[in-house]
Structure 1
Amino acid sequence: MKLTFLGAAQTVTGSRYLLEAQGKRVLIDCGLFQGTKNLRLRNWAPLPFPADTLDAVILTHAHIDHCGYLPVLARNGYRGPVYCTPGTADLCDVMLRDSARLQEEDAAFANRHGYSKHHPALPLYTLEDAEAALRLIGPREFDAPVSLGEHLSFRLLPAGHILGAATVVLCSGHTVLAFSGDLGRPEDPIMRAPASPAHADYLVVESTYGDRLHAALNPEDELAEVFARTFARGGIVVMPCFAVGRAQEVLYHIAHLKETGRMANVPVYLDSPMAISVTDLYRRHMREHRLTVSQLHALDHAAFMTRTVDDSKAIASRNGPMVIIAGSGMATGGRVLHHLSLYAPDPRNTIALVGYQAPGTRGAALEAHAPAIKLHGDYVRVRAEVASISSLSAHSDYRETLRWLAGMTCAPVRTFVTHGEPAAADALRRRIEETLHWDCSVPEQGQSVELPEETVRAVPCPPCEGAGAQGIPA
């Protein structure tokens, strides 16, 4: 059995793991690389294997750094199944179409304005490619055994984080491999706590916040302070925001701040058609989150929902104070770029960062208080206040991750720490070794490891029991 790390190795993006076992080749996650140019260029590199040699793809969740490469895989000839939870399938339908449209629009914009080094600028993939990928998706319920062939099966366990997010637990013979995916927080106000697998012989665990603890702050206190001081100077709060998960959490807190009178009655705009569509999906998956029907209603009325381009442009004609929530969360694309271009130069305004900012992104430059950022080929001065809301995170910190690991009944034979910047990944590796005394390492990009299947259990592992009832669809 062989495991190859094709992404998310010493970086927090591009999640892709190739497992070769029982005569099958299975790709766990199929994400885009984001961030610095050298990472983004990996998206354009030839596939390290012929796409049609894969037998299956399993997604942990629908964030673009975990699913956004699927259209490239489909364009290159992959026609097999893509397994995920129903929530992830619904989100992928939104995310992949939006990602394709953004790439087509960005390429067209670059060609119109001539700022691309490539002539003509081309999108990484098109809407047609995305639709081809979506046709391959076959949803599977949480904790339902799924067969990938003789002696190879998997289950999906709730991981918190966002709707549909899962930990993948694979069984090859009597050997268990678990891929954590992105782990949510046990006390998240919206998503339910992640579930630990009972056991795993080999484990791949994320380390986004492997070197830090989340601040013991109330996010509503932080938001209220940012809003109050910005509105006092007549300013506008621009919030680059992830459309899946983070936008809904921000709306949840804004609704509560307004309800309790802790926020001025100013207009709030959710300028993200994708985030609006995602918010609607929470009603379809009520069992996955903690929100009541009345809280969902409050979310819907916490902001003006801006769907069309004309509505988005109309926001610029309004005077402050107001709040504009727009994608993308790391300011790598989307409508937020136009708002940053307009509002970043004014010192009365605030740019509020509400999530992790990967190195090389505009969000990371803003977080580092860069004096200017490049937008649509030109540099824009940043005179606005830049505030980081540190208590808003959908990722577990290292203490919460250790608690999730400790929920397993026995130590894995070997643990691999991925999906984190080098310092974060190594910090979590060290903490796992020192706290749990597990054999732990940080793999490199492209590294392959042979996993001996010597660990034979007296009884079949849980993922195998009854798995023969479901097979790969024709």
Structure 2
Amino acid sequence: MAEIKIHFLGASGTVTGSKFILETPGYNLMIDCGMFQGIKELREQNWKDFPFETSAIDTILLTHGHLDHTGYLPRLVKQGFNGKIIGTSPTLAITEIILLDSAKINEEEAEKANKENYSKHEPALAFFTIKDAEKTIRKFKAAQIDEWHTLTKDIKYRFRYNGHIIGATFIELELFNKTFVFSGDIGRKKDLLLYPPQKPRWADYLFLESTYGNKLHPEESVTEKLVELINQTVQARGTFIIPSFAVERLQTIMFLLWKLYQERRIPNIPIFIDSPMGNNVFSVFEQFSEWHKITPSQFSEMKDRMNIITSYKETWETIDDPRAKIVIAGSGMVTGGRVLTYLQQLIDNPTTLILLIGYQAEATRGRQLLEGAKELKFFGKYYPVNAQVHLIESLSAHADQAEILDWLSDIKNIPEETFLIHGEPTALDALRVKIKDSLQWKVNIPKLNEVVEIPL
């Protein structure tokens, strides 16, 4: 009997490493190809042999460009994948920036670890190199949103706008007359920069993200909190550090600070943007203005108000600058990037304020800070945490439980099965119970590397 096999190779029982293979008669399709982040046990999965014949994968479809959805692509190509990698034009532009930036960081960190001898591996190796990333980018192919695209006579797909970050979509697949819907990461209904997510109308099989499946984002005044923290920073002549994801959160924070300055609600405090990847993302916002709400003139004014750092020398000059200041630097979970240099130098100072503004995955430095860590490890050494740590949860780019349920509200049928993915165990189970109780749908929480067979 003919069947489709779904291979859950990531974001299954966890919130990271999104990878799903649909093995069908005569054609193998992959949805997302992310790397694992967070706890060591998960990160080690990245280095294991891929559990599916890579040369047998025909096409990869990307929901969006974040590393936990795209970061394994160069490894897959290196292991023999030779098909097309398809996404919306802004998703591919973001993915190119993220892969090249990550490759550079991988190479630099491996070199530093070998030079300073703080890695357990001899020698420490880059997870993927710039050359690997460039080879991967050559396989990119853009597809129009809202149009059906045919892969075979039995398989077609469509990308639908999903908020979250620029270019992000959910994917509708028509497989052998059944509709499979992969939610990707669902955005917010009232995002400052992006339009509300579209909603699916039909799903025979639904693959649903659950990042905040157990939470409702608080009703809090983001602007009031920012004004309060900035005033504290000015009074203490301190440094206000905002670790930020380079895509969307960086632009959102910049927009908020620019508006507050325009409205004269904050003083003329210097604002430094130290994110090489974020600087590259600006061009994507400028190129794809139809994907977001900011006008070209607003975007230009916003950038002019900020001090955009373009070299590592300027990073150190900013650290040594005695003025009260705001620094926005990658990465958002404090796993890498320029923010590590600032925190390494300033986290022991009580006049330093740290504001976390997005989801903090398990075992990341961001999560450790959130949970009250008294010291953090950077580049092989521990540093005491004397800085104040704050969180604005409502700036998350992920839908909360109520928004996820609203996203499901236009589905006219009862799916044959709903698979909950991209969530930590408590979030997955809370959303499972909520969907089961409120919608009476059949809900499944697949395990990592589980294979589910669907008869045709």
Taking structure 1 as the reference length, the TM-score comes to 0.94
Is residue 2:413 matched to residue 1:410?
yes
Distance 1:278 1:299 in 2: 14
Write the distance in 2 (CA, Å) between the matches of 1:283 and 1:50.
39
Check conservation: 1:234, 1:321, Cα contact below 8 A. Answer: yes
* 2:448 aligned with 1:450: no
Q: CA deviation at 1:294?
A: 2.5
From 164, 170, 175, the equivalent of 2:173 is 170
- Once the two structures are TM-superposed, the CA of residue 195 in structure 1 deviates from its matched residue by 0.8
Match in the other structure for 1:149: 152
Q: Tell me the amino acid that sits aligned with residue 178 of structure 1.
A: V
Determine which of 300, 304, 307 is the counterpart of 2:307.
Answer: 304
The amino acid across from 1:40 in the alignment is R
Which of the numbers 9, 12, 25 marks the counterpart of 1:9? 12
Aligned to 2:124: 121
Q: Secondary structure at the match of 1:32?
A: coil
Q: Which residue of 2 aligns with 1:227?
A: 230
Displacement after TM superposition at 1:261 (Å): 1.1
What residue is the counterpart of 1:461 in the other structure?
none
Does residue 185 of structure 2 align to residue 186 of structure 1?
Answer: no
Shift in Å, 1:320: 3.0
In the alignment, the residues of structure 2 paired with residue 202 and residue 334 of structure 1 have an alpha-carbon distance, to the nearest angstrom, of: 38
Give yes or no for the alignment of 1:18 onto 2:10.
Answer: no
Whether contact under 8 Å (1:215, 1:391) holds in the other structure is yes
1:361 aligns with 2:364: yes
1:260 aligned residue: 263
**8 Å contact from structure 1 (residues 226, 387) kept in 2:** no
Q: How many residues align?
A: 453
Shift of 1:352: 0.9
CA distance in structure 1 between the aligned counterparts of 2:297 and 2:231, rounded to whole angstroms? 27
CA distance in 2: counterparts of 1:442 and 1:222, whole angstroms: 37
Q: State the Cα distance separating 1:452 from its structure 2 match.
A: 2.9
Query: Which amino acid in structure 1 is aligned with residue 49 of structure 2?
Result: P
Among 235, 250, 253, which residue is 1:247 paired with? 250
**CA displacement 1:54-99 (0-9 Å, x = unmatched):** 0110100000000010000111111100010001011111110001
1:107-130, Cα deviation, whole Å (9 max, x unpaired): 011111110011111011100000
CA gap 1:157/1:203 in 2 versus in 1, 3 angstroms: same
Q: Offset at 1:346?
A: 0.3
- 8 Å contact from structure 1 (residues 22, 151) kept in 2: no
1:111 to 114, 133, 137: 114
- Residues 8-407 of structure 1 aligned to structure 2 (within 5 Å): 8-407=11-410
Query: Of the candidates 412, 431, 436, which is equivalent to residue 434 of structure 2?
Result: 431
CA RMSD, Structure 1 to Structure 2 (Å): 1.0
Distance 2:364 2:194 in 1: 27
Q: d(CA) in 2 for partners of 1:288 and 1:440?
A: 33
Q: Aligned partners of 1:232, 1:44: CA distance in 2, in Å?
A: 47
**SS of residue in 1 equivalent to 2:28:** strand
Superposed displacement of residue 302, structure 1? 3.5
User: What is the rounded CA distance, in whole Å, between the counterparts of 2:315 and 2:153 in structure 1?
Assistant: 53
1:151: Cα distance to partner? Answer: 0.8
Structure 2 counterpart of 1:390, one-letter code: E
Equivalent position SS for 2:134 = helix
Partner Cα distance (2:183, 2:301) in 1? 32
Q: Which amino acid aligns with 2:37?
A: Q
Asked if the contact 1:207/1:420 (under 8 Å) is kept, the reply is yes
2:97 is paired with a residue of what secondary structure? Answer: helix
* 312-321 or 130-139, larger mean C-alpha shift: 312-321
CA contact (8 A) 2:233 2:325 kept: no
Judge conservation of contact 1:22–1:172 (CA < 8 Å) in 2.
no
CA–CA distance in structure 2, aligned partners of residues 147 and 443 of structure 1: 28
1:472 equivalent in structure 2 = none
Deviations 1:144-178 (A, max 9, x none): 21112121110000111001101011111210100
- Could you tell me whether the CA contact under 8 Å between 1:254 and 1:302 is conserved in 2? no
Per-residue deviation, 1:226: 1.5
Matches of 1:231 and 1:197 in 2, distance apart? 47
Counterpart of 1:391, as a letter, is S
The runs of at least 4 consecutive aligned structure 1 residues that moved more than 4 Å come to none
Q: 1:441 is matched with which residue: 441, 444, 454?
A: 444
Alpha-carbon distance in 1 for matches of 2:77, 2:7:
20
The CA deviation at 1:36 is: 0.5
TM-score by length of 2: 0.98
C-alpha displacement of 1:293: 2.0
Letter in structure 1 aligned against 2:24: A
Contact 1:4 1:19 in 2 (8 A): yes
User: What is the aligned partner in structure 2 of residue 467 from structure 1?
Assistant: none
Structure 1 residue runs without a partner (length 5+)? 454-474
Work out whether residues 348 and 387 of structure 2, in 8 Å CA contact, stay in contact via their aligned partners in 1.
Answer: yes
